[in-house]
Amino acid sequence: MSHLRGLGRLLIAVTFFTAGFIINIGQLLLIILVRPFDKRLSRSLAYYLHYSFYCILVCVAEWYAGSKLRVYIDPEDEEKFFGKEHGLLLMNHTYEIDWLTAWMITDKLGILGGTKAYAKKMLRYVPVLGWVWWMAEFIFLDRNFEKDKVVIKTQLKEVFSYPDPVWLLLNAEGTRFTAAKHELSVKFAQERGLPLLKHHLVPRTKGFTTSLPTMRGICPAIYDINLAFKRNAEPRPTMLSQLNGEPVEPYMYIRRVPLDKVPDGEKEAAAWMQDFYVEKDKIIDSFHETGSFFKTSGIKEVPEKIFKPRLCTLLNFLGWASFSVLCILNYLVSSLVAGNWIGFITVLSVLGGFYALMEYAVNASKISKASAYGAAAKK
């Protein structure tokens, strides 16, 4: 069984990195050959490149691992707004695969290719994935507010000028939740008279309040995602479980909040954000205590919806996997026949490199490897 899992991870790694590298080339060609003449067309075409790349791992989660996403969503809002407008995405940053569940829901809402995020600047140098994000116009920050506020104001205008709906992810907590960071976060809140949170870190409001003036008029809503897994769930919600073909069951409550509900003024908007996270904390607490997002949170209950995997994600994966494997096998066989041992060994080395990159990425995504930024900032 372990050998089959290893082969599965190798196939996923080869498919992911081969597709990503080709998509990098496609992005670059659009930027050089199309964008100078028609930015709108360049971005419209790039949407499909981004979608094709992101949904490789959506396919892994849903078709290979069999993970089932349970979503609680207002049917009227879903029909009228979801996937039809720009939005700022707020999501709790608690699990190793919270980003993957976000890709899963945006795929179902038809906006996976238009998802973007605020991200650490260093990530744009990561081969393949970082390059995809860089050329997809993610907003990369230095974590130096004086520099970042200029980037935020200029890049937001670019991001929300896309012809298709864009959802921009802001992890307001700044870093992934861990017990150690939560302890420091509680101490930080007590010292400053801020609300105490059980399931979240104190939100960092500067990025949000800096973004607001630019977003008003071009981004009509906040989309709030509240993600939870059962505490005793097995297998655990990790990237490794997905690559091993082990299903997980994420529960997600997602709601639309019109941006005009956020008050004007930096202090007022910051206070609104703190209160909003108190509400989010109650939603997650209700889930863990009662199994429902709504019983004790005071939030109006909405129906559950289980989205079925989309056939297009499977076909996309199979297309890239077939292309990658056939190219590699053809080259290996040709090298053997021609006695090209250098080429043969080079390809095997590349395959080993792809596998090592995937293992490195999985290891880096572990909660134990999470950034110490949140802890350091609150000392």
Which residues partner with 160 through β-bridges? none
C-beta atoms surrounding 184 within 10 Å? 18
The residue extents of the domains of the chain are 68-309, 321-370
Distances (CA, A) of 228 to 175, 329, 368: 17, 42, 19
Please enumerate, as own/partner, the contacts of 211-218 that have beta carbons within 8 Å and a separation of 24 or more.
211/88, 211/152, 211/156, 211/170, 212/259, 212/262, 212/269, 213/153, 214/152, 214/153, 214/156, 214/157, 215/88, 215/156, 215/160, 215/259, 216/259, 216/260, 218/86, 218/156, 218/157, 218/160, 218/161
Fold of 68-309: Glycerol-3-phosphate (1)-acyltransferase (3.40.1130)
Q: What pLDDT does 373 receive?
A: 45
Tokens of 66: 């069999």
Band (pLDDT 50/70/90 cuts) for residue 15 is: very high
Q: Please check whether residue 160 is in contact with residue 218, taking contact to mean a CB–CB distance below 8 angstroms.
A: yes
Q: What pLDDT does 4 receive?
A: 64
Q: Calculate mean pLDDT across residues 287-316.
A: 95
Q: Calculate mean pLDDT across residues 287-307.
A: 95
The helix (H) or strand (E) run that includes residue 293 is: none
What does the alpha-carbon distance between residue 169 and residue 66 come to, in Å, rounded to a whole number? Answer: 25
Would strands 304-306 and 70-72 be described as parallel, antiparallel, or unpaired? antiparallel
The residues, ordered by sequence, that sit 6+ positions from 63 with a Cβ below 8 Å of its Cβ are 309, 313, 314, 317
Q: What pLDDT does 19 receive?
A: 94
**Residue 110 DSSP code:** T
C-beta atoms surrounding 126 within 10 Å? 15
The residues, ordered by sequence, that sit 6+ positions from 138 with a Cβ below 8 Å of its Cβ are 116, 117, 118, 119, 124
Q: In percent, how much of the chain has pLDDT > 70? A: 91
**Residue 195 DSSP code:** P
**Residue 367 DSSP code:** G
Tokens of 48: 């499909």
Q: What is the pLDDT of residues 259-277, one digit of tens each?
A: 999 999 899 999 999 999 9
The crossing angle, in degrees rounded to 10, of helices 206-215 and 145-159 is 40
Tokens of 191: 């010292």
Q: What is the pLDDT of residues 106-148, one digit of tens each?
A: 999 999 999 999 988 888 888 888 999 999 999 998 878 788 8
Band (pLDDT 50/70/90 cuts) for residue 44 is: very high
The overall longest dimension of the chain from CA atoms, in Å, is 73
What does the alpha-carbon distance between residue 96 and residue 228 come to, in Å, rounded to a whole number? Answer: 12
* Neighbouring C-alpha atoms within 13 Å toward the C-beta of 130: 11
Q: Calculate mean pLDDT across residues 322-351.
A: 76
Q: What is the pLDDT of residues 348-379, one digit of tens each?
A: 776 777 667 666 656 655 544 555 444 444 44
Q: What pLDDT does 374 receive?
A: 46
The crossing angle, in degrees rounded to 10, of helices 311-338 and 341-364 is 150
Is the pLDDT at 66 greater than 80? The verdict is: yes
Q: What is the pLDDT of residues 175-198, one digit of tens each?
A: 888 899 999 999 999 999 999 999
Q: Calculate mean pLDDT across residues 21-33.
A: 96
Q: Which of 4, 3, 2, 16 is nearest to 355 (CA)?
A: 16
Tokens of 16: 């992911």
Q: What pLDDT does 149 receive?
A: 85
Is the pLDDT at 63 greater than 90? The verdict is: yes
- Helix intervals (H) in the chain: 2-29, 39-59, 75-80, 98-108, 129-135, 145-159, 179-192, 206-215, 239-243, 266-290, 311-338, 341-364, 373-377
Q: What is the pLDDT of residues 198-250, one digit of tens each?
A: 999 999 998 899 999 999 999 999 999 999 999 888 889 998 899 889 999 99
What does the alpha-carbon distance between residue 174 and residue 125 come to, in Å, rounded to a whole number? Answer: 20
